[in-house]
Amino acid sequence: MVDKLPKSAHPETIAAQALGLTDEATGSIVPGIHLSTNYERDENYDKPQDRSYIRDQGPTQQHCEQVIAALEGGAEALTFSSGIAACTAPFHALKHGARVAVSRTIYHGVLTWLEIFAADRGLGVDYFDAGNLDELSAIIAKGDTRLVWLETPANPSWVVTDIAEAAKIAHGGGAVLAVDSTAATPVLTRPIELGADIVCHSATKFLSGHSDVIAGALVTADTSTELWQRIHDHRIYAGPILGSMEAYLLTRGMKTLFLRVARQCENAMAVARYLHTHANVEAVHYPGLQSFPGHEIASHQMKGGYGGMLSYQVPGGRDEAIARVLRAGVFKRATSLGGVESLMEHRKSSESNVTTTPENLIRVSTGIEHVDDLLADLEQMLV
């Protein structure tokens, strides 16, 4: 495949044209979906384009990875079979007994997995407050932390962490900073430019954007580190790779990433403002609201919007919150996020017991619908 875009191309252009790569054999604008698992060696017994087997050399996957790396401004990306496979890979790549510092507010699946895995692997885990990095500083000062893991904005309260500050603290103690940037997307935040070493995505969400692909990705700032090499090894030898069809669908989805995220941010802001003034709403958590504790950090860290994710709390507990969600019409009553359709869920029902999510919290993912339809739906739900 041939890279036809100028070096100066903007991320919007890189996304829309998937790096401008076309198929050399046919000239097709859309490169083919390569399903072959293996590649024929030539008359000298050399591998064609250095490929022999699909597990880490599929051209459809590699194209997708190149687009993700370019959008994040990273040196290399690796795709995975799911977001959680990507999130857990850096921990798998650590040596037995390593210490990690992990934000208390992250996607519940990673927290749950870490509780099991850390004990089995002898990993030492120190948890820190995502909104106040003094705790992280104190952990790093002890001097033996290998990896710092955080998510921003973070599920499900959307607390925002200052990535540049976290990177400074982590690097001061010789630790690597990994950021789950699923909710921010490379449209709004490029963590590597702010000092992060590794960026993680559940590409199931905004990157693919149509609620029909499960995929994950990691991006590195530097391919030469031992940790990144071990992540490569983990993917090749444990095998959590992305299938060719999924890689194709993910690349296709990313072509409209910028348009979708811009609209999702607009809709989320309108929904957050509406909920913020509503008498039957106790609290709204959205980085775009001036009353949000992390608003200042979000304003300089997130460019062009505050994301498509927010949560709100209603008076009462679990039953009252579920009763509200049951009245949703335009909003789909479903978990997950980042798709073109707006979603709403009683968050605690989707999480395991490791989280402290309040029972009256409803999580919203805004899609690309007309905002008036979303606001009208909320109005009839909240009367």
Q: Which residues bind ligand PLP (CB under 6 A)?
A: 82-84, 87, 107, 109, 151, 155, 180, 182, 202, 204-205, 214, 216, 337
Active-site residue, 205 included: yes
Catalytic one of 51, 162, 180, 197: 180
Q: Which CB sits closer to ligand PLP, 60 or 82?
A: 82
Cβ 300 to ligand PLP shortest distance, Å: 21
In the complex, which residue's CB is closest to ligand PLP? 83
Q: Which CB sits closer to ligand PLP, 83 or 173?
A: 83
> 328 and 137 in contact (C-beta within 8 Å)?
no
Cβ 130 to ligand PLP shortest distance, Å: 12
Q: Which CB sits closer to ligand PLP, 81 or 280?
A: 81
Distances (CA, A) of 150 to 21, 70, 101, 158, 283: 33, 22, 9, 12, 24
Q: Which CB sits closer to ligand PLP, 217 or 272?
A: 217
Neighbouring C-beta atoms of residue 6, cutoff 10 Å: 8
Catalytic one of 51, 107, 190, 260: 107
Active-site residue, 180 included: yes
Residues contacting 323, CB < 8 A, separation 6+: none
Distances (CA, A) of 189 to 91, 162, 264, 296, 307: 23, 11, 15, 14, 10
Cβ 204 to ligand PLP shortest distance, Å: 3
212: its two tokens: 């029909």
Taking the C-alpha atoms of residue 287 and residue 310, their distance in angstroms, rounded to an integer, is: 8
Catalytic one of 205, 263, 324, 363: 205
Cβ 39 to ligand PLP shortest distance, Å: 29
Catalytic one of 4, 41, 47, 55: 55
Residues composing the chain: 383
Q: Which CB sits closer to ligand PLP, 254 or 371?
A: 254
Taking the C-alpha atoms of residue 11 and residue 261, their distance in angstroms, rounded to an integer, is: 13
Q: Report helix, strand and coil shares of the chain as percent, to nearest 5.
A: 40, 15, 45
Residues with catalytic function: 55, 107, 180, 205
